[in-house]
Amino acid sequence: MNGRELALNLAIRLGRAALMGFLTYIAFYVLPMYFLGQAIRGLSGVITSGGPSPEALLVYFATMAVFFAVAIELTRDTVLEHAFSVGRGLAFLFFVIYATGGGLLTLTLSRMGVPIEMTIDASRLVLILVGIGLLDVGRSILNAVNWACEKADRELVRQD
């Protein structure tokens, strides 16, 4: 591969990564804030929670989604693509556990100066989401093994 082909390949990768990052930003931050922003701001005065605010959680989630979308697109067709896919699965898995406080959601409702504290046990829902996250990690690992096998096959065919 000469310098011109390498530069063209790099420009294409950067363009695809920038486009993917922009689309991910729109899908995971702009649209949720547009459709749910008013509801989140309206409930923030009535409901307080012990953890980060829903707006902060949305920012964290969107940041992770954009980072992994760009990183995976930049490293497409390399082993790092699969490493970032595994990392994405693990990061989102831990994010679900962090955002839900391990499955126990505590809300404090303030109506007419009287606080009412509610605790919701969502641990089974979190367990289901963790299981889905583990399936995503396993799928990414299997894709990495498949990529390595296909690359080895291509090398063997080239040697013959």
Q: How many whole angstroms separate alpha carbon 13 and alpha carbon 42?
A: 41
Nearest to 67, CA basis, from 98, 28, 110, 12: 28
Say how far apart CA 139 and CA 124 lie, in whole Å: 23
Q: What is the predicted pLDDT for the residue at 45?
A: 59
Which pLDDT belongs to residue 46?
58
Low-confidence ranges of the chain (pLDDT < 70): 43-50
In tens, the pLDDT along 9-34 reads 999 999 999 999 999 999 999 999 99
Tokens 């583990």 locate to 134
Residue 52 confidence (pLDDT):
79
Look at residue 110 in the predicted model and tell me its pLDDT: 73
109: phi then psi, degrees, rounded to nearest 5: -95, 130
Joined together, the tokens standing for residue 75 give 């490293």
Question: Between the CA of residue 140 and those of 18, 19, 21, 81, 145, what are the distances in Å?
Answer: 23, 23, 20, 9, 9
Q: Which pLDDT score is estimated for 49?
A: 61
Q: What is the DSSP string of 99-127?
A: HTGGGEEEEEEEETTEEEEEEEE-HHHHH
Residue type for position 73: E
Per-position DSSP letters for 33-54, written without gaps between them: HHHHHHHHHHHHTTEEESS--H
pLDDT at res. 50: 65
